[in-house]
Amino acid sequence: MSVFSEKLQDKFKHYLARYETRRSAILPILHEIQDEYGWIQPEHIESLEKEYGLAKVHVQEVVSFYSMYRTEKPRPYRIYFCDNIVCTLMGAEKTMEKIRKVMKSYEDKGLESPFSLEGVPCLGVCDGAPAMLVNKERYLRVDSEKVEEILMKYGA
């Protein structure tokens, strides 16, 4: 019995038929898995090998190479903070440190933080530096004070 839904299996078959080699279908297949489950789990990788003949080592290489694939269960609020040179010059490091402190405050209380933080090379809004996304909500000119206010909207 497959760990994947029938709908997902149909999508996999479509991609495998569409590409000349099975290996070439791995990116869209992984996107579909992540869209449905939120992350790429070890059992997904094993099932891709057993059910679809996609070498486990190749799948793991792809998952570890591309930062867009998650290998840990996502938290409810994913913070993407721009850490390029413009945002850094405008105070991104100090603001990211504030976010880390908020996240650590949950751990200090024995709780799991609802936030995950990921530095990204560009959010495409240098005129609003430093910039961040919380899930898909964009925030511009984020400083240490403003970030605390923003996180409070999400329950911090």
Please report, for the chain, the start and end positions of each structural domain, with discontinuous segments joined by +.
Answer: 6-65, 77-153
How high is the pLDDT of residue 1? 80
6-65 CATH fold: Arc Repressor Mutant, subunit A (1.10.10)
Strands (E), the chain: 77-82, 115-120, 132-134, 137-139
Residues 6 or more apart whose CB falls under 8 angstroms from that of 95 comprise 81, 130, 132, 142, 143, 144, 147
Determine the pLDDT at residue 5: 94
- Give CA separation, 66 vs 13, 59, 139, in Å: 23, 11, 25
The answer to whether residue 151 scores a pLDDT higher than 90 is yes
Structure confidence at residue 134 (pLDDT)? 95
The residue that leads in pLDDT, 18 or 136, is 18
Average pLDDT on 81-85 reads 94
Q: For residue 68, what pLDDT is reported?
A: 83
Tell me the CATH number for domain 77-153.
Answer: 3.40.30.10
Across the range 3-19, mean pLDDT stands at 95
